Amino acid sequence: MVPFHRRKPPKPAFRTGDEWDPGNPQNRERTRTLQTDLRERLLRWDPIGIADAPEARDEYDCMISPLLHKLHGGESAKALARWLSGEQRDHFGLSPDKEAADRLAAELVAWWKAKTTAS
């Protein structure tokens, strides 16, 4: 076992200087804005039909962080659509709507690209 004082410090879970990394604490405000935008897109997709219920506006929040990290990591629309379909099936207990997942995934990739190349 390596003595404590000789251990290398762990690498941060984010890339220093990466202004789009949702895990970087320096990007807190930008990430909040992205989360709000993404929440609105998920509510428009609305596979369980709760978008009009104000008390349920956070229903898809469990998907926001994974999606931001996937988008930041450069996942393709095809990979995102598979993940979205899996969430519909495994998390929400629904039969996946592949066409809707494909449309949302393509929209998200385009949205992310527009956001991250605009600055």
Cα–Cα dist 112/117, whole Å: 8
Question: Would you call 106 helix, strand, or coil by DSSP?
Answer: helix
Residue 7 reports pLDDT greater than 70: no
Residue 14 reports pLDDT greater than 60: no
74: region left, alpha or beta (phi > 0 left; psi from -120 to 50 alpha): left
Where along the chain do its domains lie? Answer: 29-44+61-119
pLDDT at 93: 94
Q: What's the maximum distance between 2 C-alpha atoms anywhere in the chain? A: 57
Counting every residue written for the chain, the total comes to: 119
Q: How confident is the model at residue 34 (pLDDT cuts 50, 70, 90)?
A: very high
**Average pLDDT value for residue range 76-89:** 97
Among the ranges given (6-15, 46-55, 72-81), the one the predictor scored with the smallest mean pLDDT? 6-15
DSSP state, residue 23:
T
pTM score of the predicted model: 0.80
pLDDT at 13: 61
Q: How many Cα atoms occupy the beta-carbon half-sphere of 42 within 13 Å?
A: 23
